[in-house]
Amino acid sequence: MKNYLQSKESEMLALLERLVSIDSGSAHKKGIDEVGEALGEQYLQIGFSPKIYEQSENGNNIVLTLQNSETTPTILFVAHMDTVFKTGTAEKRPFTIKGDRAYGPGVIDMKASQVALLYAMKALAQFYPKVLHHVQIVLNGDEEIGSPTSRSLIEEYAAGKKYALIMEPARKDGSLVTSRRGGGRYTMRIKGKGAHSGIEPQNGISAIEELAHKIIKLHALTDHDAGISVSVGVVEGGESVNTIAPSAVGHVDVRITYADQAEWLDRKIREICESPDVPGTSIQLEGGINRPPMEKTTQTMELLEIIREVGSEVGVHITDVATGGGSDASFTSSLGVPTIDGLGPVGGNAHSEEEYLEISSLVERTNLLTNVIVRLVGIS
């Protein structure tokens, strides 16, 4: 299969260039749908039937299952089609190859993963067509904004699966991802009372002063050893420098490492915001912890071990890491489905202008993926 994939390398790079040249930021429905159509067509050619879940504002989500599937699929793949880049980026910063690396918006997160997944399926169609019956794929269009429309779809299709393989890129050093932090966001809206700070300061109640108390208390919940962090990342407030601030807003980012920390942390945050520190102010708290952590379970470690074995057979040394960022892996793993993430090609600097793909990893990781699937299905 390696030879087959190697012979397809230039075709894979051409498809990657085509996908990178389509702007598909999470807010750009048209572009995401165009990516979905380009991929759907190719999956159709190897016998998959795409089921499209139309969205009015977000990109459509697509579920791919083999036509006339003879069995219930046991392996779920999840790969997102959206990027974090604004419309126009593809024209400003087009796909380019410099040395051993390819650049362009979304090249590693995760258009190279889309190419790898498609070509893994093409290789299977050629060499192990029966294996395809065991595979189901969700291509979603809103991962970069937290999967608001695709989360329930992912959960629906993950339920009952033996394995979930998530196509986020491998880390810079090639590591797979076996745990991710969970978390959520809160917004505090504080009301005080405005007054001229020179003429009648005694009549004012500062919402900014109240916000300051809350920030200190919330930040004190951070416990790096326990993997909990609470950070007010954006504040707004006040009207002019000589006015006692009548209002202030604080936006809070929270991260947890274990699922059982969510309830405790949410309760603490609510307790802190329940009563004012500055008498006369009021506070309205919105938000919550909505993303479960991906925990490294015994089942995850067993799955990793299988991938490690396959890796050693195909010449890829497998390491794994934990990461702070979220992905759809959290949704499948919190359902109890053994999940490994980072199965895409190797690269780095995602979400920045320096985002890159290590070109040699495109074929290498596709080959790994193909062999992993064959092993998991148990046909060889």
Residue 263, burial from CB neighbour count under 10 angstroms (0-12, 13-18, 19+): exposed
Where does this chain touch Zn ion (CB under 5 A) — which range of 53-61, 160-168, 309-317, 330-338?
160-168
Find out whether 300 and 178 touch, Cβ atoms under 8 Å.
Answer: yes
The nearer residue to Zn ion, 145 or 235, going by C-beta atoms, is 145
**Shortest Å distance, C-beta 309 to Zn ion:** 27
The nearer residue to Zn ion, 170 or 376, going by C-beta atoms, is 170
What x/- string results for residues 165 through 204 when contact with Zn ion is judged by CB under 5 A? Answer: ---x------------------------------------
The nearer residue to Zn ion, 245 or 357, going by C-beta atoms, is 357
The nearer residue to Zn ion, 168 or 364, going by C-beta atoms, is 168
With CA atoms as reference, report the closest residue to 369 among 181, 168, 172. Answer: 168
**Shortest Å distance, C-beta 110 to Zn ion:** 5
Residue number closest to Zn ion, CB atom: 109
DSSP state letter for 280:
T
The nearer residue to Zn ion, 17 or 168, going by C-beta atoms, is 168
**Shortest Å distance, C-beta 85 to Zn ion:** 12
The nearer residue to Zn ion, 110 or 304, going by C-beta atoms, is 110
Neighbouring residues of 30: CB distance < 8 A, sequence distance ≥ 6:
none
- The strands making up 101-103's β-sheet, listed across from edge to edge, are 96-98, 101-103, 356-358, 347-348
**Shortest Å distance, C-beta 212 to Zn ion:** 36
Instruction: Dump the DSSP string for 16-79.
Output: HHHHHTS--BTT-HHHHHHHHHHHHHHHHHTTEEEEEE--SSSPPEEEEEETT-SS---EEEEE
- Asked if 33 touches Zn ion (CB under 5 A), the answer is no
**Shortest Å distance, C-beta 30 to Zn ion:** 20
Neighbouring residues of 122: CB distance < 8 A, sequence distance ≥ 6:
8, 42, 46
The nearer residue to Zn ion, 177 or 278, going by C-beta atoms, is 177
The nearer residue to Zn ion, 273 or 329, going by C-beta atoms, is 329
Instruction: Dump the DSSP string for 304-332.
Output: HHHHHHHHHHHT----EEEESS--THHHH
**Shortest Å distance, C-beta 277 to Zn ion:** 40
CA dihedral sign, ordered 62, 142, 163, 38: positive
Residue 10, burial from CB neighbour count under 10 angstroms (0-12, 13-18, 19+): exposed
**Shortest Å distance, C-beta 168 to Zn ion:** 5
With CA atoms as reference, report the closest residue to 349 among 112, 106, 145, 87. Answer: 106
Grouping H, G, I as helix, E, B as strand and the rest as coil, residue 208 is helix
- Asked if 295 touches Zn ion (CB under 5 A), the answer is no
- Asked if 328 touches Zn ion (CB under 5 A), the answer is no
- Asked if 109 touches Zn ion (CB under 5 A), the answer is yes
The nearer residue to Zn ion, 33 or 168, going by C-beta atoms, is 168
**Between the CA atoms of 25, 29, 34 and 40, what dihedral angle is there, to the nearest 10 degrees?**
100
Q: How many residues bind Zn ion (CB under 5 A)?
A: 3
d(CA 263, CA 261): 6
- Asked if 341 touches Zn ion (CB under 5 A), the answer is no
Where does this chain touch Zn ion (CB under 5 A) — which range of 34-42, 60-68, 107-115, 120-128?
107-115
**Shortest Å distance, C-beta 14 to Zn ion:** 22
- Asked if 82 touches Zn ion (CB under 5 A), the answer is no
The nearer residue to Zn ion, 88 or 325, going by C-beta atoms, is 325
- Asked if 355 touches Zn ion (CB under 5 A), the answer is no
What x/- string results for residues 8 through 27 when contact with Zn ion is judged by CB under 5 A? Answer: --------------------
Find out whether 75 and 376 touch, Cβ atoms under 8 Å.
Answer: yes
ω before 110 within 30° of 0 (cis)? yes
Where does this chain touch Zn ion (CB under 5 A) — which range of 20-28, 102-110, 283-291, 307-315?
102-110
Q: What is the largest CA-CA distance in the chain?
A: 84
| Residues in contact with Zn ion by the rule CB under 5 A | 109-110, 168
